Amino acid sequence: MFRPGAPLEEIEEDVESIITELVHELGRTAEADPEPAGAEERAYIKAFSDARANSAGDQAGLLATAIGRPNLAEALIYLNRRLDRMDLDPQDPAGIIGIIVRLAMDGLWVSDILDDTRFSPAERRKITDILTGMTYLTDSHLEKLEAQAARR
């Protein structure tokens, strides 16, 4: 990813390139999903699950650079904002699940950077499997869950 002693401009180009490629990969993965509903979120889960395989130093460097220079992450920011607008559409109540799933995966990714031993592979798989299952929730399923929660 970054070579030792690389000039800031080179690091910025690397970060921007990595994030742009990530956004393209998310699109390709979502388009290949046979079930369109929730496909973007399942692609997000897959992409950020795979991120753990990268070295912690690279991921920490990527996160630090993107935080310090958010303009480098514009492609991902734009994608998330577009998906958020779609997911907050009042005509699609279950869309909110997409936001929850992406936020959870963002948190898991940062958690991996801070402590990659926090969850065993089996525990992590359980977390991502449940998040993946959530992407298949329909409006009627969500209404039932909301009704159950209201009774508590």
pLDDT tens profile 73-131: 788 888 889 999 999 988 888 889 999 999 999 999 888 888 888 999 899 999 999 99
Distance CA 33, CA 70 (A): 30
Global pTM exceeds 0.85: no
Residue 11 has pLDDT above 80, yes or no: no
110 CB-near residues (< 8 Å, 6+ apart): 63
Instruction: Give the mean pLDDT of 137-141.
Output: 86
Query: Which letter does DSSP use for residue 88 in this model?
Result: T
Fold of domain 8-151: Tetracycline Repressor; domain 2 (1.10.357)
What is the residue extent of each domain of the chain? Answer: 8-151
Closest CA to 72 of 28, 30, 9: 9
Long-range contacts of 103-109 (CB under 8 A, 24+ apart): 104/131, 105/44, 105/45, 105/48, 105/49, 105/131, 106/48, 108/48, 109/48, 109/51, 109/52, 109/59
Q: Are 67 and 76 in contact (CB under 8 A)?
A: no
Reduced to 3 states (helix: H, G, I; strand: E, B; else coil), residue 5 is: coil
* pLDDT score recorded for residue 52: 54
